[in-house]
Amino acid sequence: MSRVVLIGSCPSSGSTLLADLLDSTPVSACGPELGLFAVKNFYNSWEKGRLITKDVSDSPYLLYSQLNRENLSGYGIDLKILEFIFKNSENLREFTTEFSNWFITLRSREPNAITFEKTPQNIDTIRIFLEKDKHAKAVIILRNPLYTFDSLIRRNFSPFLAFLTIAHCFQIAYTLKDNDRVLIVKYEDVVSQPFQTVQKILAFSGIPFDDEETFWKMFKNNTYRYYHDRLRDIILFKNAVWKHWTVQKTGMIKNANDREVSEEIKKLFFRGLNTNLEKFNISDPNDTFKFFGYEFLRQEEPLPLYPSFREKILFLKKKILHFLL
């Protein structure tokens, strides 16, 4: 059993709520987004002889994947301690075990408790994570792509980049669907059956858990998640970084799909379904959506989505950096 389980997703797919829930048992804990495990070259650190904390991102919307140093305090460590853990580990498995020990001790969890590390961009490195540790496991959370698209638009994503990001994540999930060390859960199940979903994930991770009363008590009084994760989003929201995006409070479960999607957003989404994404190595997203139970009837929409000039520059920069590295 691996002591660290990765959680990856498309942004705005409910991973923060899932992290709140998984941080609400005596046998599991989930800290703020660390980013380290989303760095591809981090997994080469032992061959390179140094801790690598930044790399070109495979995510369509980011140029780099990197360690969120400001979130290390949420794990009870700083960069020097992180480097100490690395230097005293011979491989990824030893590193994650010791990293989890620090965090689990900080959170006063049971000795055999599991650490879940939730960073959406982890979805891009799950395959590497599993290859480097034959006992490792990962969880992917998916959400109805129409509602994810609507949420990303509220977070100032362009329509093209929002749809490309969703299609990219669904395709990765599809390629990992038959891997028995990857568990794919749906946001809709998380909000409708939160305790049962947590039970399922913990059982998958190697720890049975059936104390529902303790779970709900811990979930409703989880000040740790508020101060070390949600407060940052609330500050960003209040400073209008994402003008039309709202932050759900900790200790509450609200189905974010229970809102009306405007006709304009629906029209943009269906234009995305008509967009050829083969140059981004993405097959027909409608087929992938349908496989996971999200089916959309194509509408007559002659115009596909196109990247903006700024996005074309981003994609070009990524190609150049990949070539140079």
Q: What would the pLDDT profile of 301-322 be if each residue is shown by its tens digit?
A: 668 999 999 999 999 998 898 7
Domain that holds residue 90: 4-324
**CATH number of the domain that residue 44 is part of:** 3.40.50
Q: Based on C-alpha coordinates, what's the Rg of the chain?
A: 19
Q: At what angle do helices 145-154 and 263-273 cross, to 10 degrees?
A: 120
Handedness of CA 43, 230, 242, 306 (dihedral sign): positive
| Beta pairing partners, 256 | none
The tens digit of pLDDT for each residue in 125-135 reads: 999 999 999 99
Distance CA 148, CA 161 (A): 12
Structure confidence by residue, pLDDT tens digits, 43-92: 999 999 999 999 999 999 999 999 999 999 999 999 999 999 999 999 99
**Taking 90 as the threshold, does the pLDDT of residue 169 lie above it?**
yes
Over residues 7-50, the pLDDT tens digits come to 999 999 999 999 999 999 999 999 999 999 999 999 999 999 99
Report pLDDT digits (tens) over 229-278: 766 666 655 544 444 545 566 678 889 999 999 999 999 999 999 999 99
Residue 247, pLDDT score: 54
Q: Is the pLDDT of residue 289 over 90?
A: yes
| Structural domain count, the chain | 1
- Determine the 3-state secondary structure of 65 from DSSP: strand
| Distance of alpha carbon 230 from alpha carbon 223, whole angstroms | 10
